[in-house]
Structure 1
Amino acid sequence: MTANPLAPAWLRVPDDADALDPRVWSRSARRDEAGVISVGGVSSADLAARFGTPLYVVDEADFRSRAEETRAAFDRALAGIGSRAIVYYAGKAFLSAEIARWVTAAGLRVDVCTGGELAVALAAGVTPARIGFHGNNKSRAEIDRAVGIGVGAIVIDSLVEIERIAGAAARHGVVQPVRLRVNSGVHASTHEYLATAREDQKFGIALSDTADAVGAIRSHPGLRFLGLHSHIGSQIFGTDGFAEAARRLLEVHADLLDGGEVPELNLGGGFGVAYTSVDDAADIGDLADGIAEVVASECARLGIAVPTVAVEPGRSIAGPAGTTLYTVGTIKDVQVTAESGETAVRRYVSVDGGMSDNARPALYRADYTVRLAGRRSGADPALVRIAGKHCESGDLVVLADYLPGDVAPDDLVAVPVTGAYCWSLASNYNHVGRPPVIAVLDGEARVIVHGETEDDLLARDAGITRAESTS
């Protein structure tokens, strides 16, 4: 079949529009003889009937196994160069009490960046010493709470935070471990808004200011300097960016050893995942080996001991484990003139969710995959754009993919790799309630985050509650 001229160059017409590419779908995703997709041994049709749509579905075994594999890979790689690894799960990708328990059970620590994320981790029973606290604008109250409960490490993001954290440590009579976030100048090959190591941005301090900042940290008896922290971006494939960042940071790390201990080096996260069949996500073992290799070689060149290496993956653990289910509402064929001058049809398939449950396509023009979830079809593939229900022209869930041409209203469709930065970026735009999150494992399904109802939304409206209380 000839490709639709409106399709992006990377998108190929599938031989089978019902096929599930294992590089994209969670490890337990299957399509049965009737064509119904199941995850974790639970039918998507049953999930939709029981919990409604839109619906976030998390493959618990997939999530847990990726967390365990990540820790094991970095433990092995760093042990191989005479060091050790610290792996934090980046809670910003997706955090709930159950998620926090899964990652800590896998031997990971938890990275948070707001008081709310800290509260979730604590409510889940995470030991404060196993929590790292990020953020470019941590409030005085957040800092005081973190220091008071004994958070394991606070990442200093600006010079003003040195005094604030030192003041909190003095009030509580403790020594607070801290890291210093620096901009390595390494520009990750990623979307402009996801590149977070450039000099002209809100995170961290310039590498050239590091010595003075660390001197200020060391001047406070209530602060213990752990080491430098870097984050070069997100959705990064390969190790080249991490290798270059490590080289630049270790040069400074070596100089800092003249003034005292520097036991750690934190290289952040940003490990990419495959959202489509053309994405080439690096194997976590290869990433760990590549990072360990460059750290070892640079330390040997500089004549210094290999530090403990910390990393902060989130998306690479949570993303592939998630799938979102939607119900098709309306279908609209639109005649469009392609750049080639040809006229072709773009089929808009509108679903009952949208940018309120997945903001990434609107924010970053992020690509996703879609498949029919409730039946099998032998129809020829048709180019589709999965649109949301919100009053924005940019409210798109899948910018371009092929579905069977007989896709129809009330069909159930599934979008994979939605475990990261979907629920965590969800909103109530147009007064739509955020969907529930369901964990599936061994044929069982359970709610791990409740969905929101209209009553939940109305309960927050003081004008409504005030009127009811006076009536």
Structure 2
Amino acid sequence: MVMISKHVVNEKGHLLLGGIDSIELAKIYGTPLFVYDLSLIRERARAFINTFKQENVQAQVAYASKAFSSVAMYQVMKQENLSLDVVSAGELYTAIKAGFPVDRIHFHGNNKSKEELLLAIEHKIGCIVVDNFYEIELLKKLAKEHDQKVNILLRVTPGVEAHTHDYITTGQQDSKFGFDLLNGQADRAFHEVFRDEHIQLLGLHCHIGSQIFETIGFKVAAEKLIKKMIEWYNEEGFQCTVLNLGGGFGIKYTEEDSPLEPSVYVKEMVVVVKDLVSKTNFAMPEIWIEPGRSLVGDAGTSLYTVGSEKEIPDIRTYLAVDGGMSDNIRPALYGALYDAVIANKIGEKNTENYTIAGKCCESGDKLIEQISLPKADAGDILAMFCTGAYGYAMASNYNRLSRPAVVFVENGNHQLAVRRETLEDIVHLDLPLTLEKEGQ
């Protein structure tokens, strides 16, 4: 094995993923293929957890599983002693099937249904993050009917806008999520749940955005939440035991990105919370965070097989692959940027400029707008990096394409985590026509 341009390569000049030849993975499992290197996920998870331990702070690090959820991935998070953030009955059910400890599951969402809340109550999950007044009334009713005391956090919007893409900001005042701290909604929500006999209010939650490369937003949000906690403590004697500062920690998609190490985010949060709490009369709360992308994003690599090529003189050359927006909608949805290599030609000179096109019947189905690569041939394997978050999770059957397989690799070993959809899978929910043609 050797390192070429930061990539681990074998004697054949092939990209290695988790110690395994990526070309062999493509042969065994087919393409498109998501490959997750579990060693990178474990390393990142332990960095978050160990930093809290070093700072002597009680904490929960919850995997924000909307980034990518499956039974096997939840079992990895269980092995690493993480908690779990779910946002639907489907994710909660998957966690239960994976044997994930229910007391470490936190249920999010801005429009939880009665059925979803009942599922959470029946399984006695660790915490429900309450998002709106409708949910408060519904949850109070269901908890009373089941004579169960339910742990909750109130999600608030602190009016902090992180430096990120407009479509994925959530902490600012104009948001579909949470109770507004600035207009009195959070105070009203607090008074509706604080003394309810079936509700145990643990504390506050916020999430200020995604793909964040600095810590100032988290600090300002923490200051606003702790200020509100102090108000409620002075007015009602409420002792906050949990402060959840969300996630959104960035990863390095391209050379232009400059994310911080997990320890830096954690240390900065801890410093500001400790400082503010030291000036009050209540105990240090547990700090909860919710990394998702930063746990699995750069651990994932997509493998594609190169197909057709179309040159438009003086404009561009399209290089088409056997996947596209059906397995990674992010470039088409909000212009997400990625880097890639031809996995069987690592080390060869980049002589061509390509636009990497998908196979969906959409002109906007372009995975990478411009990239320099060696001369590509049909059958080559393109490896696109940092696709572990929101790739498979947002995949679709658009054009009735099958969703890819997912493979886990670690230290030279590999296993199938999600099988590839078959053509029969594509139609298995379809029903034949039974209505008679008009006039017959």
Range into which the TM-score falls when normalised by the shorter chain: over 0.9
Which amino acid is 2:116 matched to? E
Could you say which residue in structure 1 is the equivalent of 2:245? Answer: 267
Give 3-state SS (helix, strand or coil) of 2:323's partner: coil
Cα gap change, 1:273 to 1:377, in 2 (>3 Å): closer
Rounded to whole Å, the distance in 1 between the matches of 2:221 and 2:353 is: 41
Deviation at 1:157, TM superposition (A): 0.3
User: What is the distance in 1 between the residues matched to 2:242 and 2:224?
Assistant: 15
Alpha-carbon contact 1:71-1:106 (below 8 Å) kept:
no
Q: TM-score, normalised by structure 1?
A: 0.88
Could you tell me how far 1:171 is from its partner in structure 2?
1.7
The amino acid across from 1:74 in the alignment is: F
Look up the equivalent residue of 1:237 and give its one-letter code: F
SS of residue matched to 2:339: coil
- How far residue 92 of structure 1 moved from its aligned partner, in angstroms, is 0.4
Deviations for 1:243-295, whole angstroms, at most 9, x for unmatched residues?
A: 11111111101111232221111000000000012211101111111111111
Cα contact 1:55–1:435 (8 A) shared by 2: yes
Gaps of 5+ in 1: 1-17, 22-28, 336-343, 467-471
Matches within 5 A, 1:125-136: 125-136=99-110
SS, match of residue 424 in structure 1: helix
Cα distance, 1:19 vs structure 2:
4.3
Q: Is the 8 A contact 1:251 1:302 kept in 2?
A: no
Change (3 A) 1:108 1:380: closer
1:36 CA displacement:
0.6
2:393 is paired with a residue of what secondary structure? coil
Structure 1 position 253 matched with structure 2 position 229: yes
The match for 1:349 is 319
Which residue of 1 is the match for residue 192 of structure 2?
Answer: 216
For 1:400, the equivalent position in structure 2 comes to: 370
Change (3 A) 1:35 1:173: same
Q: What is aligned with 1:297?
A: 275
Deviation (angstroms), 1:67: 1.5
Instruction: For 1:66, give the aligned amino acid.
Output: R
* Deviation by residue 1:136-189 (Cα, 9 ceiling, x = unmatched): 000001111101210100010001111111112112211100000010100010
Separation in structure 1 between the aligned mates of residue 265 and residue 194 of structure 2, nearest angstrom: 33
1:181 has 2:155 as partner? yes
8 Å contact 1:86–1:310 — kept in the other structure? yes
| Equivalence for 2:69 | 95
Change (3 A) 1:20 1:54: farther
Partner of 2:381: 412
TM-fit CA distance, 1:375: 2.6
The SS at the match of 1:199 is coil
Structure 1 residues 380 and 123, CA, compared in 2 at 3 Å: closer, same or farther? closer
Letter matched to residue 452 of structure 1 = E
TM-score by length of 2: 0.94
How does 1:57-206 map onto structure 2 within 5 Å?
Answer: 57-77=35-55, 79=56, 83-206=57-180
The amino acid of 2:359's aligned partner reads K
Structure 2 distance, partners of 1:76, 1:154, is 28
Deviations 1:47-77 (A, max 9, x none): 1111110000011211122222221123323
The one-letter code of the counterpart of 2:431 is A
Residue deviations 1:310-352 (CA, integer Å, cap 9, x gap):
10001000101100000111112224xxxxxxxx442211100
Residue 394 to residue 301, structure 1, CA distance change in 2 (3 Å): farther
Q: Quick one: distance in 1 between partners of 2:242 and 2:41? A: 27
Q: Which residue of 1 aligns with 2:255?
A: 277
**8 Å CA contact 2:350, 2:372 repeated in 1:** no
Q: Please, which moves more after superposition, 210-219 or 87-96?
A: 210-219
Aligned to 2:438: none
Query: How far apart in 2 are the matches of 1:377 and 1:38?
Result: 13
* Distance (whole Å) between structure 2 residues aligned to residue 118 and residue 165 of structure 1: 17
C-alpha distance in 1, partners of 2:280/2:185? Answer: 21
| 1:46 paired to 2:24 | yes
**Distance in 1 separating the partners of 2:64 and 2:220:** 22
- Asked if the contact 1:61–1:441 (Cα under 8 Å) also holds between the matched residues in 2, the reply is yes
Quote how far apart the aligned CAs of 1:304 are. Answer: 4.1
Of 355, 361, 367 in structure 2, the residue corresponding to residue 385 of structure 1 is: 355
Q: 1:262 to 1:242 in 2, by over 3 A?
A: same
Q: 1:54 to 1:63 in 2, by over 3 A?
A: same
CA contact (8 A) 1:436 1:452 kept: yes
CA contact (8 A) 1:34 1:376 kept: no
Query: Partner of 1:358 in structure 2?
Result: 328
SS in 2 for 1:177: strand
C-alpha distance in 2, partners of 1:318/1:399? 24
The SS at the match of 2:154 is: strand
Q: CA deviation at 1:401?
A: 2.0
Alpha-carbon distance in structure 1 between the residues aligned to 2:289 and 2:348? 45
Q: 2:207 aligns with which of 221, 226, 231?
A: 231
Partners of 1:222 and 1:104 lie apart in 2 by: 29
Cα distance in 2 for partners of 1:198, 1:351 equals 38
SS of residue matched to 1:121: helix
2:226 partner letter: L
Equivalent residues of 1:459, 1:465 under 8 A apart:
no
Q: Which residue number in structure 2 is paired with residue 287 of structure 1? A: 265
> Residues 396-427 of structure 1, C-alpha deviation per residue, up to 9 Å, x if partnerless?
112222112x1122111100111111010000
Q: Is the 8 A contact 1:242 1:291 kept in 2?
A: yes
Q: Which residue of 2 aligns with 1:9?
A: none
Question: 1:390/1:255 Cα in 2 relative to 1: closer, same or farther (>3 Å)?
Answer: same
Please give the alpha-carbon distance, in whole angstroms, between the structure 1 residues aligned to 2:433 and 2:26. 31
Following TM superposition, by how much is the alpha carbon of 1:20 offset from its aligned partner in structure 2, in angstroms? 4.0
The answer to whether the 8 A contact 2:10-2:21 is kept is no
Q: Which moved more, 1:227-236 or 1:169-178?
A: 169-178
1:193 is displaced (CA, Å) by: 0.6
Is it true that 1:442 corresponds to 2:411 in the alignment?
Answer: yes
Aligned alpha-carbon RMSD (Å): 1.8
Query: Is the 1:68–1:107 contact (alpha carbons within 8 Å) kept by the matching residues of 2?
Result: no
Match of 1:290, SS? helix
Corresponding position: 1:318 with 2:296: yes
CA distance in 2 between counterparts of 1:465 and 1:106 reads 51
The answer for the alignment partner of 1:338 in structure 2 is none
In structure 2, runs of 5+ residues without a counterpart are 436-440
State percent identity of aligned pairs.
Answer: 39
**Structure 2 SS opposite 1:166:** helix
